[in-house]
Amino acid sequence: MNTKIEKIAKNILDENDISYDEAYFLMQLNDIEIYDLLYWANRIRYNTFNNVVGLCSIISARQGSCSEDCRFCSQSSRYKTEIPNFPLIEKEKVAEAVEKGKEYKSDCVGVVTSGYSLEGSDNFDKICDDAYELSKQDGPPVHTSIGMITSKMAEKLASSGVEMINHNLETAEGYYPNICTTHSYKDRVDTIKIAKNAGLQVCSGGIFGVGESVEDRLDLAFKLKELDVDTIPMNFLSPVKGTPLSTENSLEPMEILKIIAVYRFILSDKGIKVAGGREENLRDVQSWMFYAGANSTMIGDYLTTRGKLPEDDLQMIKDLGLKYNVGEMQKH
Ligand code: SF4
């Protein structure tokens, strides 16, 4: 066992923070030492979450035709991709997604729309109305991922029964211009601050494998820690034909497990969710994500791509001796 990893981990278990230099050291580990890292990441996960993992499902509620140029995204109108575009779906479809989420043991159902923001649009009011009605029913809570929000929008979401919003920072501030040029990193940070000020919980993470450096990965983790976000979704690029990142090389599974583990060391008591790109990138070691420190994942289909069969994911969790949906999850 690598004694330096053990010392850093025990310090975290004693409720101390990891330093940037220590996290950098962990990011440089290779080969057999990664297994030591995973062992301790799992211990740190267990310290907060015990044997419970969370599940989250999403529905693409308005798809494509986006004005922005995020280089990994199939929904940007600037790239020729093969996904169908559609306007805001009707309430019945959102209700169906909530029903499915209940069946899949989801802790929440995320309603996700493409685009920079829904400010001033009827779509925003419709989403709030749907969330309010669905919040009165017996199903998983509705969360939203609707781009940038203003303080007024945040207050309306909160009063409509929405407890959490998703808004990813995507990558480090220094690398952000390499993946998006149509809006600023500050816009994204502002939305997180606005949501938190309105009492909403915030789910914010990033996408890995988009050409970022080890330092960029660390900068993102420490920024999310500084912003005190509640849950960190970690997406791993699955290159989409037609996007500028379509020829990007995928990350190796062990590299991905290492990134998850280092995030667990840095964000020791926060929710860490393995999200998009899990199936394609982790392949046969998907079930290792929890041993690497994640305490939740997505279940069902993604926005524009298919996920694993929900029953297979539920079986995987049972096979690991873990539990889902015990009604106590605070962090997904
Ligand atoms: S703002 Fe969202 S939907 Fe639009 S291109 Fe970026 S990631 Fe895709």
Judge contact between 125 and 133, C-beta under 8 A: no
DSSP per-residue letters across 54-108: EEEEEEEEEBS-BS---TT-TTBTTS---PPPB-PPPHHHHHHHHHHHHHTT-SE
pLDDT at 327: 54
Closest CA to 72 of 299, 243, 302: 243
The set of protein residues with a Cβ atom below 6 angstroms from ligand 1 is 66, 68, 70, 73, 75-76, 114, 116
CA dist 294 and 292 (Å) reads 6
Is a pLDDT exceeding 60 seen at residue 202? yes
Kindly indicate the confidence band of residue 203, based on its pLDDT and cuts at 50, 70 and 90: very high
**Mean of per-residue pLDDT scores for the chain:** 93
Give the 3-state secondary structure of residue 6: helix
Distance 73 CA to ligand 1 centre (A): 6
Residue 27 token pair? 């990011």
Angle at 93 between CA 151 and CA 146, to 5 degrees: 25
Average of per-residue pLDDT across 91-105:
90
Distance 20 CA to ligand 1 centre (A): 30
Atom of ligand 1 nearest to the CA of 116: 1
Residue 244, in any domain of the structure: yes
Closest CA to 272 of 321, 324, 224: 224
Is a pLDDT exceeding 60 seen at residue 55? yes
* Strand partners of residue 232: 272
Residue 40, in any domain of the structure: yes
Kindly indicate the confidence band of residue 307, based on its pLDDT and cuts at 50, 70 and 90: confident
Average of per-residue pLDDT across 105-124:
92
pLDDT at 301: 75
Closest CA to 54 of 266, 267, 295: 295
Pairing of strands 52-62, 108-113: parallel
Identify which of 70, 88, 118, 123 to mutate to test ligand 1's pocket (most ligand atoms within 8 A of the CB). 70
pLDDT at 253: 97
* Strand partners of residue 57: 109
Residue 270, in any domain of the structure: yes
Give the 3-state secondary structure of residue 214: helix
Residue 314, in any domain of the structure: yes
Summarize pLDDT for 218-253 with one digit per residue, the tens.
999 999 999 999 999 999 999 999 999 999 889 999
pLDDT at 331: 47
Distance 249 CA to ligand 1 centre (A): 21
Is a pLDDT exceeding 60 seen at residue 332? no
Residue 330, in any domain of the structure: no
Give the 3-state secondary structure of residue 272: strand
Domain around 112: 3-324
Kindly indicate the confidence band of residue 326, based on its pLDDT and cuts at 50, 70 and 90: low
Residue 332, in any domain of the structure: no
CA dist 21 and 121 (Å) reads 45
Is a pLDDT exceeding 90 seen at residue 270? yes
Q: Say which CATH number the domain at 183 has.
A: 3.20.20.70
Angle at 65 between CA 60 and CA 70, to 5 degrees: 85
Angle at 290 between CA 140 and CA 30, to 5 degrees: 145
Distance 65 CA to ligand 1 centre (A): 9
Summarize pLDDT for 135-152 with one digit per residue, the tens.
888 889 999 999 999 999
Residue 331, in any domain of the structure: no
What domain count does the chain have? 1
Distances (CA, A) of 133 to 42, 94, 118: 39, 11, 20
Distance 150 CA to ligand 1 centre (A): 18
Is a pLDDT exceeding 90 seen at residue 305? no
Write the residue with the smallest CA distance to atom 6 of ligand 1.
Answer: 70
Summarize pLDDT for 5-30 with one digit per residue, the tens.
999 999 999 999 999 999 999 999 99
CA dist 303 and 74 (Å) reads 10
Q: Which helix (H) or strand (E) holds 113?
A: strand 108-113
Q: What is the pTM of this model?
A: 0.94
Pairing of strands 323-324, 296-298: unpaired
Is a pLDDT exceeding 80 seen at residue 83? yes
Distance 37 CA to ligand 1 centre (A): 34
Atom of ligand 1 nearest to the CA of 67: 4
Distance 142 CA to ligand 1 centre (A): 21
Identify which of 58, 68, 79, 119 to mutate to test ligand 1's pocket (most ligand atoms within 8 A of the CB). 68
Kindly indicate the confidence band of residue 329, based on its pLDDT and cuts at 50, 70 and 90: very low
Average of per-residue pLDDT across 194-216:
97
Atom of ligand 1 nearest to the CA of 183: 1
Is a pLDDT exceeding 70 seen at residue 328? no
Distances (CA, A) of 68 to 79, 125, 186, 261, 275: 10, 22, 15, 31, 22
Identify which of 63, 65, 66 to mutate to test ligand 1's pocket (most ligand atoms within 8 A of the CB). 66
Residue 329, in any domain of the structure: no
